Amino acid sequence: MLGTKRPSEESGFKSVPPKGRRLKRKKMTKNGREDSDNRFEGSAEEVLLKDIKWLLQNTHSNGTPPSEERNDPPQLFSQLEASVTMLASTGDGLAVSEDGTRVFVIPFTIPGDKALIKVVKNYPSYSTTDMLEIREPSRNRRDDLVFCKYFGKCSGCQFQMLSDDYQLEHKRQVVEKAMKNFSNLEPSLIPPVGKIMPSPLSKGYRTKLTPHFDGPRRGGFKEDAPVPDIGFQLKGRNFVLDIEDCPIGTQPVRDGMKFQREHVQQNLHTFKRGATLLLRESTQRQFSRAASGDQLPHYEDTKSCITDSKAFVTEWVGNFKFSSPAGAFFQNNNSILPHFTDFIREQLYIPMASPEQGYVTNSYLIDAYCGSESAKKNAKENGIQNARFITGNAESIFVNIDFPPEQTSVVIDPPRKGCDELFLSQLLSLSPKRIVYISCNVHTMARDIGWFVQQSSGRDYTIEKLGGFDFFPQTHHVEGYAVLSKSG
């Protein structure tokens, strides 16, 4: 196995957007004209616009889009009733105006809901709104499942009123739509999307929370300053919603949140500005002598909450121990990680020519977006001796790799913006036998997979599997995967 350094969580090997993949967003200014700003293909805005366009086209009986003649947008802060007909990939309900020319984006709603809404912002083809009241609930709405008193205001969760099965099927459809809308591939090249693998925990699973509070623009907090709201973003606003407890977090993280809130309240005058608070779970495992006849070692885990971003935290995934700075990236749902890593490992095996022969035994693995320094330490800590780590760069990421392509698998897990064409071109030149693409943004994954398959003429890469894992229950997020194999 060989790992290459992941430069940062916010950018891939190249910090600039992929060439030719920038788009312009049109929006309404105060005088009703259209303005534009940049967004990348696969961004939340672009994903929402795809759903809105599809809904407007299919609202009309002949499947054609509405007239280009634009009606006046609704008055800001006006209230009206709307019937939700679609759940967007971004997690919001969508309803079409009576004249069929505009979509209302309504948070915390699902198809079948009739809601009283308030218009808060207008764009050329849609309006964002606040949901004020559910007038008629959908038959799929389960308000009895809601377990957080802040749900419906906090921007963290969208789906607490939905059953686990409904959430999983919706997320499967999100992956399906992503491949349809962003891959630019013929339908015959896209296999059916498999079931989304559920998380063992649907609440109390997050091992990291980052509540925050705003401060004065200058001068810091005064001795007698009122305590600001400490929590998470209010849905649809750039304001902080005061939150005392978040049941999505693990118990140590929830306890840490209460402690940190008290610390800020008692020491507010020491802060010069607002701050983001880090709450990160750490696990200390104490092994004990196994009883006679037991096959597995006995151990006891002690959990704690770390608040210093530079302090090291420890997490266990199966029998593997990982240590990293508390402020560094690490998956935030440890309950699903063993299932996830087992599945990915199985996909990386290279099969022999016939199934009866099993798998290639002398094979190689490249992890193109892994860590380097902490990765080296963790490999040593876990007794891994067949891995080495190199620091790569965008222009020559695979220059020092001479693995035989037919015996090589590659796993890539890029940042949300996905891969750039420079990296994908080098991956194509490397021509590995198998590729497993993992992504927190299934739309940029679809874009990258589509480009790769289209450019692989002569190498005959096919998409073998598509699916996802539910790393973040109660939210619209889904961790997607695609398995590619090269024929021959």
Q: What is the residue whose two structure tokens read 């420079």?
A: 422
420 is a domain residue: yes
Residues 354 and 479 in one domain: yes
On whether both 382 and 258 belong to a single domain, the answer is no
CATH of the domain at 121: 2.40.50.140
Residue 152 domain-assigned (yes or no): no
Q: Look at strands 240-242 and 298-306 and give their pairing.
A: unpaired
The rounded distance, in Å, linking the Cα atoms of 259 and 250 is: 14
289 and 250 both lie in a single domain: yes
Nearest CA among 305, 307, 337 for reference residue 322: 337
Q: What is the pLDDT along the chain (488 residues), one digit of tens a residue?
A: 666 554 443 333 232 333 445 444 444 444 343 444 446 788 999 999 999 999 999 987 555 555 555 568 999 999 999 999 999 999 999 999 999 999 999 999 999 999 999 999 999 999 999 999 999 999 999 999 999 999 999 999 999 999 999 999 999 999 999 999 999 999 999 999 999 999 999 999 999 999 999 998 788 898 889 999 999 999 999 999 999 999 999 999 999 999 999 999 999 999 989 999 999 999 999 998 765 556 667 899 999 999 999 999 999 999 999 999 999 999 999 999 999 999 999 999 988 877 777 888 779 999 998 877 889 999 999 999 999 988 877 678 888 889 999 999 999 999 999 999 999 999 999 999 999 999 999 999 999 999 999 999 767 899 999 999 999 999 999 999 999 999 86
Q: How far apart are CA 294 and CA 317, in angstroms?
A: 21
pLDDT recorded at residue 485: 96
CB 214 within 8 A of CB 228: yes
Domain that holds residue 80: 42-141
Query: Does any domain span residue 432?
Result: yes
> Is 305 assigned a catalytic role?
no
Dihedral (Cα; 26, 178, 69, 101), 10-degree rounding = -110
Q: Which pLDDT score is estimated for 295?
A: 65
Q: Would 212 be classed as within a structural domain?
A: yes
HSE of 61 in the Cβ direction (CA atoms, 13 Å)?
A: 0
Q: Is residue 226 part of a domain?
A: yes
CA distances from 396 to 368, 380, 413, 421 (A): 12, 27, 18, 13
pLDDT given at position 458:
66
Asked if 290 and 410 sit in the same domain, the reply is: no
Burial 391-421 (b: 16+ CB within 10 A, else e): ebeeeebbeebebeeeebbbbbbbbbbbbbb
Residues 469, 359, single domain; the answer is yes
Question: How many angstroms separate the CA atoms of 149 and 136, rounded?
Answer: 21
Take residue 185 and report the two structure tokens written for it: 């591939």
Handedness of CA 284, 280, 323, 482 (dihedral sign): positive
Residues 409 and 419: their CA atoms lie apart, in Å, by 17
Q: To 5 degrees, how large is the angle CA 115–CA 120–CA 122?
A: 105
Q: What is the CATH number of the domain that holds 430?
A: 3.40.50.150
For residue 235, is it within any domain? yes
The whole-number pLDDT of residue 218 equals: 81
| Strand locations in 193-319 (E) | 193-197, 208-209, 212-213, 231-233, 240-242, 275-276, 279-288, 298-306, 312-317
H or E element at residue 2: strand 2-5
**DSSP line for 440-476:** S-HHHHHHHHHHHHHHTTTT-EEEEEEEEE-SSTTSS
Q: Which residues contact 31 (CB under 8 A, 6 or more apart)?
A: none
- The whole-number pLDDT of residue 288 equals 83
Q: Is residue 354 domain-shared with residue 305, that is, in the same domain?
A: no
User: Are 305 and 416 part of one and the same domain?
Assistant: no
**Assigned domain for 61 exists:** yes
What is d(CA 139, CA 165) in angstroms, rounded to the nearest whole number?
A: 14
Nearest 5°: the CA angle 160, 164, 169 is: 110
**Side by side, which strands form the sheet with 461-469?**
193-197, 461-469, 479-486, 434-439, 408-412, 364-370, 2-5, 388-390
Could you tell me if 373 and 304 lie in one domain?
no
Beta strand 320-325 pairing with 388-390 = unpaired
Catalytic residue among 154, 246, 305, 440: 440
Examine the domain organization and report whether 190 and 125 are in the same domain. no
Distance CA 296, CA 294 (A): 6
Check residue 431 and give its pLDDT. 95
Q: Does one domain contain both 307 and 235?
A: yes
Tell whether residue 331 is among the known ligand binding residues: yes
235 and 184 inside one domain: no
Measured N-to-C along each axis, helices 421-430 and 442-455 cross at an angle, to the nearest 10 degrees, of 50
Tokens 């009866």 locate to 356
Tokens 């805005």 appear where?
45
Q: Has residue 161 been placed in a domain?
A: no
Amino acid at 311: A
Q: At which of 316, 347, 375 does a domain end? A: 316
Q: What's the number of domains the chain is made of?
A: 3
Residues 230 and 190 in one domain: no
